[in-house]
Structure 1
């Protein structure tokens, strides 16, 4: 296992609160339904499509909203905590000789600023796409560029779409329980591994 790929939001960064406040700012502007604090846990049990219906947000508008969303998101980057235990995990993986990459649909500038604020220097690559679907294409390109077999890589992510993308390219995936999608959403996609604390990731690898 040479390369470890991490998702960002919900996996490395506990960005739920900032995500909610950013969404609510845009909801005010475009008359979408706002997210309430007491809804967060129940939202994790809904698919992305179900969430979009709940908030009266048409999925086809994602490419229009995403750039605005992440510009607003950047203003609160200092408020986003790193998941407990994740910094130690990254250092341990690096020490053992693994290459660590982040592949995310967040903005690259946001992630680089987050890593800088948290004094994380263990990440070699940060690869981003404005398309929230189609991570399989980015992972496939990464494998090709790095001359890697799917079996030489493992992906760590929290969402159903991460699992779907990994299945398409044959890369094993570790689903983390502390992210955006609850087990009820991802169970049917059958992630290769399920973890409930960062230390368990190291055990699997």
Structure 2
């Protein structure tokens, strides 16, 4: 029986495209990487993380080094962060139906809490974060252990290929959402369990 619905943050609940591009371009300016334009993100959705790093002249092995700096700059523009239309309704509806909701993200807990407060979202019970963008399966397993949950008692909602890979490693089913950072071309080989093209479809799948 399902008890928890766990959400990714960026690209799933929060539309962070403008904030992310702004933060990245500050880093690119300082360290001489390639800047990006907001209009380029749609095409970048079709690229893997490795391909995006190559496009931006950014060594992939440096991701863990720059993630804290990126999210610090991100926090400075957090007022520009948008809530995807319909996602607050989904969170409220899940709460009404008795499901608990959590967020597991590679963003910072401080950024997420600021965003939730600003949007008057009060029904997210747990937030787990890690700066290791490929270590989400460990966070999922940690969450299950802490809450004494079986893998069948949770489902994850996320937008990226790495979310699907992490869920498969942790033995958790995932709803992949189409409005985030990865396109179908990137994720289809990982075969997500479910697909939602609109926030309202999440409720139909649960």
Structure 2 spans left out of the alignment, 5+ residues? none
3-state DSSP class of the match of 2:204? helix
Equivalent residues in 2 for 1:69-84, closer than 5 Å: 69-84=70-85
1:78-119 CA distance string (max 9 Å, x none): 111100000011000011111100000001000000000000
Unpaired segments of 5 or more residues in structure 1?
none
Counterparts of 2:87 and 2:42, CA distance in 1 = 22
Shift of 1:38: 2.5
Q: Distance between the aligned counterparts of 2:81 and 2:146, measured in 1?
A: 31
Structure-1 separation of matches of 2:39 and 2:121? 32
Is 2:144–2:150's contact at 8 Å kept on the other side of the alignment? yes
TM-score scaled to structure 1, two decimals?
0.99
Alignment-derived partner of residue 190 in structure 1:
191
The CA distance in 2 between the partners of 1:123 and 1:158, in whole Å, is 19
How many corresponding residue pairs? 205
Q: Which residue of 2 aligns with 1:144?
A: 145
Structure 2 contact 17–38 (Cα < 8 Å) conserved = no
Q: Which residue does 2:24 correspond to in 1?
A: 23
Matched ranges for 1:100-119 at <5 A? 100-119=101-120
Displacement, 1:39? 1.1
State the alpha-carbon separation in 1 of the partners of residues 146 and 90 from structure 2.
Answer: 26
Partner Cα separation in structure 2 for residue 80 and residue 149 of structure 1 = 34
Question: SS state of the match for residue 186, structure 1?
Answer: helix
Match of 2:156, SS?
A: strand
Which runs of 4 or more aligned residues in structure 1 lie more than 6 Å from their structure 2 counterparts after TM superposition? none
